[in-house]
Structure formats: C-alpha cells, structure tokens
Amino acid sequence: MSYTVRLLANAQRDLADIEAYFDDHVPHETERCLDAIEVALDWIADNAHQPRVGRFGLRHVSTEKFRYYIWYRLFEPERFVQVVAILHHRRGDDALAERVP
C-alpha cells in the first residue's frame, strides 16, 4: 500500500525554481527533468521505507539523470510522506539545514 506524498511549501518552491532554471537555461530538458522528479516521487510513495534515515532525520532519494535529491520524512500511522526539500546534489548540508525545523 502506497503513501500519500505531500510537498511542504519550500519543496514546492524548489520545484518551481527547478522548472524556471531549466526553462531559462536548457528548455528542451525541462519536461524530462520534471518527469524524473515525478518518477522519484512515485517511487517514494511505493517504497518510502527503503532509504535509511540519514542527515537531519530525513530520508532521501535521487533522480537518476538530473541528480536532484528529494529529502523527506515518513509519517507511519498517517501513511504519508512529507517532502522537505528538492535540492541539486551539489548543494550542501547548509541548504538542507535551512529547511529542517
């Protein structure tokens, strides 16, 4: 049984920023990048427990080609995943730390 995936406001902004970046710099790749993120979100919904808990008590998965990490928390009794951030792999712990209360 899959989990509901909910994006926090920061993660929604990350997604909008990613789309804007690709639209400005490599518009022919925008749809492929957003599709890759959607595939990763779908995978999380079906496999939320697989990644181990890591930094800041979060789990994460990576998109394959575009190298974005999707950082999330798992809420077991409620059966949902809370996406905290969608960040490029080159962004460090400081960028992620800003998102974690």
pTM exceeds 0.85, yes or no? yes
Partnered with residue 75 across adjacent β-strands are 80
Helix, strand, coil: what percent of the chain each, to 5? 45, 25, 30
For residue 16, what pLDDT band results from cuts at 50, 70 and 90?
A: very high
CATH at residue 16: 3.30.2310.20
Domain around 39: 4-97
Count structural domains, the chain.
1
DSSP β-ladder status, 4-7 and 80-88: parallel
Cβ 87 vs Cβ 95: under 8 Å: yes
Partnered with residue 72 across adjacent β-strands are 59, 83
Q: Tokens 């809420």: give the residue.
A: 75
Q: What is the pLDDT of residue 31?
A: 98
Q: What is the pLDDT of residue 39?
A: 97
Cβ 61 vs Cβ 69: under 8 Å: yes
